[in-house]
């Protein structure tokens, strides 16, 4: 998919900086479809997650849903604006952002989203919220989970003039069937748990948080 000029400029600038100042590693890129609408679901540890996911292999056009609190951080704000991300207001049910996300997927783009809804301060997975599962089931798009590790301590190491190791591990793709009216809430929770367990399976054990003992986790390990 053809990239806009500002996204090209961002990639040309960001890629060498990430590889110069960090040890950035991607695993499981073979699971990422090269074309077609795609939802990339991820855990959220740090503000470094944003530039890391922007370099997702095979999908240079990936866009993301990003909380509007990052408007307060000038450097991140520039990256997010150039990346044409979707601003999300976490203080309410942001239907406008949801519709924008639908449009992005309908146009065949890749969309990055964190089902946790907010950054984990402990580094461990928090309970997933239903928004990602709802969007995926409504659009029927392919989903690829990714587990991020190392970004939570990335800035501390950079400030100490060390190169942090940032890892993005992608897992097998899957799809969710449309929701029926019957048992809708129960099914939506089941879908959310599936998404989160697939992410947890890609993470070191100490990152799995509330999903460490989930009965479905072993299916994806």
User: CA–CA distance from 109 to each of 59, 80, 91, 103, 134 (Å)?
Assistant: 8, 16, 26, 9, 18
* Domain-embedded: residue 13: no
* Domain-embedded: residue 27: yes
Q: Which residue is associated with the tokens 């090209």?
A: 8
> Do 64 and 148 touch, CB atoms closer than 8 A?
no
Output the pLDDT for position 1.
Answer: 65
Summarised one tens digit per residue, pLDDT across range 163-204 is 999 999 999 999 999 998 888 999 999 999 999 999 999 999
Summarised one tens digit per residue, pLDDT across range 67-119 is 888 888 888 888 888 888 999 987 778 899 999 999 999 999 999 999 999 99
* Domain-embedded: residue 5: no
* Domain-embedded: residue 104: yes
Share of the chain above pLDDT 70, in %: 100
Structural domain containing residue 151: 19-219
* Domain-embedded: residue 196: yes
User: CA–CA distance from 27 to each of 57, 74, 100, 148, 195 (Å)?
Assistant: 10, 30, 29, 11, 19
Count of the separate structural domains present in the chain: 1
Residue 189 and residue 125: Cα distance in Å, rounded? Answer: 16
Residue 161 and residue 144: Cα distance in Å, rounded? Answer: 33
Give the dihedral sign, CA 194/199/204/207. negative
Dihedrals phi, psi of 164, to nearest 5 degrees: -70, 145
Residue 27, C-beta contacts closer than 8 angstroms, at least 6 positions apart? 167, 168, 169, 170
Is residue 41 scored above 90 in pLDDT?
Answer: yes
Residue 187 and residue 184: Cα distance in Å, rounded? Answer: 5
Residue 194 and residue 175: Cα distance in Å, rounded? Answer: 11
User: CA–CA distance from 2 to each of 6, 63, 187 (Å)?
Assistant: 12, 13, 37
* Domain-embedded: residue 171: yes
* Domain-embedded: residue 177: yes
* Domain-embedded: residue 3: no
């Amino acid at each position: 998919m053809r990239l806009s000029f500002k996204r090209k400029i961002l990639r040309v600038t960001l890629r060498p900086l990430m590889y110069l100042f960090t040890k950035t590693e991607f695993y499981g890129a073979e699971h990422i479809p090269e074309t077609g609408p795609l939802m990339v679901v991820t855990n959220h540890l740090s503000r470094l997650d944003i530039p890391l996911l922007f370099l997702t292999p095979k999908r240079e056009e990936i866009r993301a849903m990003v909380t509007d609190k990052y408007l307060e951080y000038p450097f991140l704000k520039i990256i997010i604006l150039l990346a044409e991300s979707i601003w999300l207001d976490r203080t309410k049910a942001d239907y406008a952002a949801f519709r924008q996300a639908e449009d992005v997927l309908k146009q065949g783009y890749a969309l990055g989203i964190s089902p946790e809804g907010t950054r984990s301060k402990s580094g461990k997975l928090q309970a997933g919220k239903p928004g990602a599962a709802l969007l995926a089931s409504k659009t029927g798009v392919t989903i690829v989970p990714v587990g991020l590790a190392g970004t939570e301590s990335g800035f501390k190491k950079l400030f100490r003039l060390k190169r942090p190791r940032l890892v993005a591990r992608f897992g097998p793709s899957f799809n969710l069937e449309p929701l029926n009216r019957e048992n809708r809430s129960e099914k939506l929770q089941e879908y959310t748990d599936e998404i989160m367990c697939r992410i947890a399976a890609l993470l070191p054990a100490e990152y799995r948080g509330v999903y460490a003992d989930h009965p479905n986790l072993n299916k994806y390990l």
